[in-house]
Amino acid sequence: MKHVIGLLATLAGLAAATGCDGRAATPAETTGRPAAAPGVVEVPPDSPMLAQLKRDIVKLVDLPTDEVVAPGKIEANPNRVSKVVLPVSGRITSVLVKTGDAVEEDQPLLTIASPDADSAMSAYLSAQATVTQAEAALGKAQADLDRASDLFEHNAVAKKDVLNAESALTQAKAAVQQAHASREQTVRRLSVLGLTASESRQQVVVRSPLAGKVLELTVVPGEYRNDTSASVMTIADLATVWVTSQVPESYIRFVQIRERVEISLVAYPGEVFEGRVSRIADVVDPQTRTVKVQAEMDNRAGRFRPEMYGSIHHIEAVAKTVVVPAGAVVENNDGRSIVFVETSPGRFEQRQVSVGKRAGDVVRVVNGVTPGDTVVVDGVMLLKGMLRPSARGPHEPCGVPNAAAALGCRSESAPAARRENARRSAIASGGGVPASLKR
């Protein structure tokens, strides 16, 4: 029986040496060092965990007070896009460019062997022959008029012969003008086909209508094309591009023509580009209840490509705003936002804050901190676990295992538990209960 009573006394002593959750008593409990006030965590200067807590400064920056953020997509400027078609049907003999190539205006793109080229050359030669004949007839009419005028001065012919010669000369001049016009028409036809009048047999040359880049190519050498209305190549001038977004109709009042907008692209994370609104659609999409907005961006550096995705930020106004890094804000057990402010080296105070909308990597703060405060941005959850229960909330456990004990985290219920365990130990050993342990 004595052995049983002794074992019970030993177990009671072990229970008294442990805290609320069965852990060993912390240095604060055994040495009598006062615990930190509620909402405050003190980290010893020699603790390795102090180096793990990264801090940053609360800042006052310019942020938009009203803004609209809408998804967007880069498109080529439709005013600077050309669909190249074949001027004649025929066989493709060569393609002189590739997709992605930069081309200059009037640069040869491809060549075609076409019977239409022979027809155009024949028409030109015929028109040239007509010009020669008309000019010869004009020379004869001029000579006839000169001879008739000389004979009339010597009374050798009647006046009507001179008048007839003058009429013939006028008709000859008109014929020459008509012949020249017909020839010019055939020359223009040759020019459209990329031909010149200096050679009799040539291939049709298709040239670039503008400077830009080849975005699409749908033809290969050796292919025969009959359809002269189908596009074989798309060329776009990408010196400027459009970013198209769909803005909800409830926010369209914030968007104005020629206003500056900020553009973020998935391809370039962390970078912000500038554009200006160039067009706002006149109708609302009945399915999505959005309005198409297009902003123009300078792309002379060639970084932006059609079909890139991103977002457009339409900014209404800016104001000085207190912000903290997004990683500094956490929620306590009651769902309230808190941060930890370093009030002195190694001393971190929990502050309840009212937060606004997030802006990139920072969060707007309405109250709770002031510019210049130092807040913890990495290791916040560790500090949260080190709080005394009254500061953490009614449902949170006492700290982070091991780490909390190493830094003096203690439970307010531990002293009462030890007193109860000591009282039971005294009863089990058969001794009286000291007055200090009586309930």
Kindly report, residue by residue over 136-183, the tens digit of the pLDDT.
Answer: 999 999 999 999 898 888 888 888 988 998 999 999 999 999 999 999
Q: Is the pLDDT of residue 10 over 50?
A: no
| Fold of the CATH domain 66-78+238-317 | Elongation Factor Tu (Ef-tu); domain 3 (2.40.30)
Q: Is the pLDDT of residue 4 over 60?
A: no
Helix, strand, coil abundance in the chain, percent, nearest 5: 35, 35, 35
Which token pair is 429? Answer: 């050993």
Average pLDDT over residues 268-291: 93
Position 393 scores a pLDDT of: 52
Average pLDDT over residues 360-379: 92
CA distance 93 to 221: 5
Helical ranges in 154-201 per DSSP H? 159-192
Q: How far is CA 389 from the centre of its chain?
A: 46
Name residue, tokens 């970078």: 271
Report the DSSP pairing between strands 90-95 and 231-236.
unpaired
Nearest to 9 by CA among 430, 381, 312, 326: 430
Position 253 scores a pLDDT of: 85
For 42-60+321-406, CATH gives 2.40.420.20
Decide if 237 contacts 210 (C-beta within 8 A): yes
Decide if 324 contacts 371 (C-beta within 8 A): no
How would you class 212 by CB atoms within 10 Å of its CB: exposed for 0-12, middle for 13-18, buried for 19 or more? buried
Q: What is the pLDDT of residues 403-424, one digit of tens each?
A: 444 444 443 344 544 555 555 5
Name residue, tokens 């890094």: 325
Q: Is the pLDDT of residue 25 over 50?
A: no
Average pLDDT over residues 256-265: 91
Q: Is the pLDDT of residue 58 over 80?
A: yes
Q: Is the pLDDT of residue 121 over 90?
A: no
What whole-number percentage of the chain has pLDDT above 90? 49
CA distance 123 to 129: 10
Write down the pTM of the prediction.
0.51
Mean pLDDT of the chain: 81
CA geometry: angle at 381 spanning 320 and 49, to 5°?
105
Position 22 scores a pLDDT of: 43
Position 411 scores a pLDDT of: 38
Give CA separation, 92 vs 114, 120, 195, in Å: 9, 18, 16
- Residue type, position 257, single letter: I
Q: Is the pLDDT of residue 394 over 60?
A: no
Position 29 scores a pLDDT of: 47
What whole-number percentage of the chain has pLDDT above 70? 78
CA geometry: angle at 361 spanning 359 and 363, to 5°?
55
Position 391 scores a pLDDT of: 53
More confident residue, 360 or 57: 57
Q: Is the pLDDT of residue 433 over 70?
A: no
Nearest to 355 by CA among 339, 371, 375, 373: 339
Position 228 scores a pLDDT of: 87
Which token pair is 239? Answer: 């010196």
